[in-house]
Structure 1
Amino acid sequence: MSDLESSLRDLLVIPSVSGEEDAIADYVVARLATKSDWRVDRVGNTVIAHRDGGPGPRLLLCGHLDTVPGDQGVDEDTDCFYGLGVCDMKGGLAVMLSLADRHCALPMTMVFYPCEEVAFERNGLHLLGPAEAMVADHDLAVLLEPTDGVVELGCQGSLRLRLELAGRRAHTSRPWMGVNAIDRVGELLARATDFERRRPLLAGVHFQESLSPTRVESFVANNVVPDRARLWLNYRFAPDLSGEQALEQLFEWLRPVLGDDDLLEAEEVVEGAAPVQEGFEALIESAGQVRAKLGWTDVSFLSSLGVPSVNFGPGDPLLAHGGNERLEKVKLHSSLETLASWIDSVAASV
């Protein structure tokens, strides 16, 4: 078995559900501490490794240590690895560790961080403290999220909106005496097909927007027409809109159906990231495919720090979180070689 495959097997047998990354962070520190040319620091369970280099672009590689909960066992056959997090994103972590073994003439930093899969405020990449300035001081970054070996540019923004629609109570034997708040939810959902889901072309790739109802609540009693109903909507918007613009666009669509007693609250607004290709041309050429990132990733955070970033890593994103994750060995190795080739090309261009 190759060192790359050995690293992945080691990572897979270490449980690392969000909030329980101590052991896997210990493993990463131990692996990197054996390399004399890497300086390793730890902030909680975030591991930051840096290697000096000659003149040229400063490269940043990032990957999260945590997985979602699950009980998928670890297995392997001739073609694939199987296990919780093998796609999202222990395959990417193994690639990072293997890249740390290779010579690079450029300065490089790697960040392995916890709690990406849970609430935004617990994300270790966002809690670096004084180290954040060092992370921001890079020229190009790759986030090794699962992309199935395709370069994915930028990411969507995400808006979570809670609506509380008002009605008027009545006995269910005389429902015409009231206004059923659940009926009002239904009317709003029927209009959802009219909401413009844009598909703008940005930096050569199409971003497909979506609007999804994710939760409905309403109940008083089985014989009462309810006077309140709550609906949650998730709007995934293209990164040519700011969070404020996306919120205003959604409000404009909702205004005709809202009454004075209805309530709206934006529970979460997360900015997207504009797609960039400059600096990553060789990576795109080597990968052979490029597309927009549908979903939110920490490319948004890195971009907010001023670091041009893309998503690229092994693992099929359609298998992430599904309880049946698998990673083809050939794609694991090809992701490593594609990244290594890009790093060499950046160094050669200096």
Structure 2
Amino acid sequence: MAVLDEKTLADPVALTRALVDIESVSGDEDAISDAIVEALAGLGHLNVERDGNVVFASTNLGLPRRVMLAGHTDTVPLHDNFPSRTEGDIMWGCGTSDMKSGTAIALHLAATVTRPRHDLSFAFYDCEEIEAERNGLNRIAATRPEWLAADFALLLEPTYAAVEAGCQGTMRADIRTSGVRAHAARSWLGSNAIHAAAEVLNRLDRYEARKVTIDGCDYHEGLNAMFINGGVAGNVVPDECVVQVNFRFAPDRDLAAAEAHVRAVFAGLDVTIVDSAPGALPGLDAPAAKEFLAAVGRPAAAKLGWTDVARFAALGIPAVNYGPGDPNLAHKQDERVEIPLIGECADVLRRYLTAEEGV
């Protein structure tokens, strides 16, 4: 088992490197969870618990506000980018940006902040990069919601050291067209379902995506085809085609409104909603969020994507994304993080969590 010693825990850069060098592709987080439990279990200022591969730590000082820091421990599959390597101010490797640099900062602060100005909770969870039903935070929200109770939550997803507020919702729908099978040599006896899918694509091509500003954050929606599946054989006119579309919607729409919009766009066609997750409003009016923005010292932007802040929002907890990685590098073979940003984010968070008075 990898050992995260006191020296490593004290340095968020060294800790990032150590976490990146523990292979933890989604579904294989035993080793990294073991290492985190071992690192935190002996620290007297924390209560540490584990549920599967979710590790939860908290202070219980009776302070009036509780702040949650959360980070997932899994990565997408390796792609000749393991273990880590460092060149100058750049650390390369799977998970460096998404999101082991952010998770390392949370772990560093859990180990080293012993006199916080707020009570603190930390969640290190598994299976974020795969289907929602396996997401560790999703499971804990359903089975142990008291672990996630807080007045404000920080998800250390990659944001390039800026606050990204809330998140978009996401919905996938299958748009099915039908036809009649026939021999390709006598195609006039059938009706080609793939040709009929042109109507789906034409509607998408004409679609004008909405832009909406919420709490000063600009959310851009999008509706796009992701897959087209159809065909029977090389000599058969197909009788079915399915175009799967993905709708990324601003958080002022709930799931019912998002579904109604998708059905309106494809009115008259066979629409099946196959997957959905609500977005999260920015939550920037919360006092703790205002203080955190002041600590960062730059305005918030919209999170253009879905993150687990939505799980906190569903529990009524304002949450934002903040971490050192570049979200545009997530899941890429050349994934990397700028080392100075790890230090910057760690310093901002430490000031926010430990200042005796307002920042």
TM-score bracket for this pair, using the shorter chain length: over 0.9
Structure-1 residue corresponding to 2:343? 333
Greater mean deviation of Cα atoms: 217-226 or 151-160 = 217-226
Distance 1:226 1:122 in 2: 35
Counterpart residue number, 2:244: 232
Q: Counterpart in 2 of 1:165?
A: 177
Deviation at 1:120, TM superposition (A): 0.4
User: Which of 148, 154, 158 is equivalent to 1:146?
Assistant: 158
- What TM-score, normalized by structure 1, do the two folds share? 0.93
Partner of 1:246: 258
Flag the 1:287–1:91 CA change in 2: closer, same or farther, 3 A: farther
> Alpha carbon RMSD of aligned pairs, Å?
1.7
Q: Which residue of 2 aligns with 1:20?
A: 28
Look up the match of 2:94: 84
**Long gaps (5+) in structure 1:** none
2:139 pairs with 1:127: yes
Aligned residue number for residue 318 of structure 1: 328
Which of 42, 46, 60 aligns to 1:34? It is 42
Name the SS of the counterpart of 2:197 in structure 1.
helix
Aligned amino acid, residue 22 of structure 1? D
SS of structure 2 residue aligned to 1:37: coil
Q: List gaps (5 residues or longer) in structure 2.
A: 1-7
State the SS of the aligned residue for 1:162. strand
Q: Which amino acid aligns with 2:98?
A: D
Which among 33, 50, 67 is matched to residue 75 of structure 2?
Answer: 67
The amino acid of 2:139's aligned partner reads L
In 2, the alpha carbon distance for the partners of 1:291 and 1:322 equals 23
CA distance in 1, matches of 2:78, 2:271: 34
The verdict on how the C-alpha distance between 1:130 and 1:121 changes in structure 2, with shifts beyond 3 A counting, is: closer
Superposed displacement of residue 238, structure 1: 0.7
Q: 1:63 is paired with a residue of what secondary structure?
A: strand
1:29: Cα distance to partner?
0.9
- CA drift of 1:162 comes to 1.1
After TM superposition, give the deviation of residue 187 of structure 1 in Å. Answer: 2.5
Partner of 2:272: 265
Where does residue 343 of structure 1 map in the other structure?
A: 353
Q: Match of 2:78, SS? A: coil
Paired AA for residue 94 in structure 1: A
Residue 322 (structure 1) shift:
0.6
Offset of residue 57 of structure 1 = 1.3
Amino acid at match of 1:184: A
CA-to-partner distance for each residue in 1:101-142, whole Å, 9 max, x for gaps? 023132100000000111101111121265312322x10110
In structure 2, C-alpha distance between the alignment counterparts of 1:341 and 1:266, rounded to whole Å: 45
- 2:209, 2:223 within 8 Å by CA — same for their partners in 1? yes
- Equivalent position of 1:301 in the other structure: 311
How many percent of aligned residue pairs carry the same amino acid?
38
- Alpha-carbon distance, 1:206 to partner: 0.8
1:64 and 1:115 in contact (8 A); partners too = yes
Provide Cα deviations, 1:62-98, integer angstroms capped at 9, x if missing partner: 0001001013121012211111101111001111122
Q: Which of the numbers 271, 277, 280 marks the counterpart of 2:284?
A: 277
Contact 2:203 2:266 in 1 (8 A): no
Aligned counterpart for 1:197 among listed residues 198, 209, 227: 209
What is the deviation of 1:243?
0.7
Partner deviation per Cα, 1:246-290 (whole Å, 9 max, x = no partner): 11111111114x2xxxx4311112111111112222332324242
Query: How many pairs were matched up?
Result: 343
The whole-number CA distance in structure 1 between the counterparts of 2:78 and 2:278 is 29
Q: What are the within-5 Å matches in structure 2 for residues 41-60 of structure 1?
A: 41-60=49-68
Conserved in 2, the CA contact under 8 Å of 1:54 and 1:105?
no
Equivalent pair of 2:169/2:306 in contact (CA under 8 Å)? yes
CA contact (8 A) 1:152 1:291 kept: yes
**Which residue identity is paired with 2:15?**
S
Cα drift, residue 54 of structure 1: 4.7
Cα deviations across residues 133-189 of structure 1 (Å, max 9, x unaligned)? 2322x1011000111111011111111101221112233334343321111112220
Query: 1 CA distance for matches of 2:188 and 2:86?
Result: 62
- Matched with 1:185 is 197
What letter matches 1:135 in structure 2? L
